[in-house]
Amino acid sequence: MNRNAFLVVTCSFVLIGASSLPVQFNVKVGYAQIEFYLNQPLANAKGGLVPITFDYDPEAKSLQVPSSLSYPLNVKGGNLSSSIQNADIRALLKFDEKAIFDRCKNTLDFNKKDVINTVHDAVIPFELRSADGKVLAATTVSYQLGLVCKRHN
């Protein structure tokens, strides 16, 4: 079997481990726009609550963004769909804070402005984990964050 062809076919999820059946894992993240001040950390940006919708196997006990958030999944039986209505996009993108800062600073400097609207493209990693913490499946979601960049608050 051609390994590259397998990866193309299964681009919506990555199977981790030795299971013969893949754990289906699809994630959608709602749009958000935040006000980001260059003199403040990302956690202080205004706005940023988004819905996350996902499908998962009942073996999964948590949805995680590595080094960020973990959401427990407490249901039994069958493949399931779920959503988290108020996930904090600032926490989900904490790993990308320097790139967000650079995007805002460079855009403000280039346009010689104190306030500007722009976007930041990111790839957010998600993992499904079992009760013992084993990664069952992992995927990434391409995400475009709306930014209102400001020099000062």
pTM of the model: 0.78
Range picked from 18-22, 33-37, 137-141 for highest mean pLDDT: 33-37
Q: Quick one: pLDDT band at residue 32, thresholds 50, 70, 90?
A: very high
What does the alpha-carbon distance between residue 31 and residue 116 come to, in Å, rounded to a whole number?
18
Number of folded domains that form the chain: 1
Domain span at 8: 3-150
Model pLDDT, residue 23: 56
Q: Tens digits of per-residue pLDDT, 46-93? A: 999 999 998 877 788 889 998 888 888 866 556 577 888 899 999 999
Model pLDDT, residue 7: 22
Rounded alpha-carbon distances, angstroms, from residue 97 to 82, 110, 132: 28, 20, 30
Average pLDDT over every residue of 120-130 = 93
Q: Which residues, at least 6 apart from 1, have a Cβ–Cβ distance to it below 8 Å?
A: none
Model pLDDT, residue 76: 58
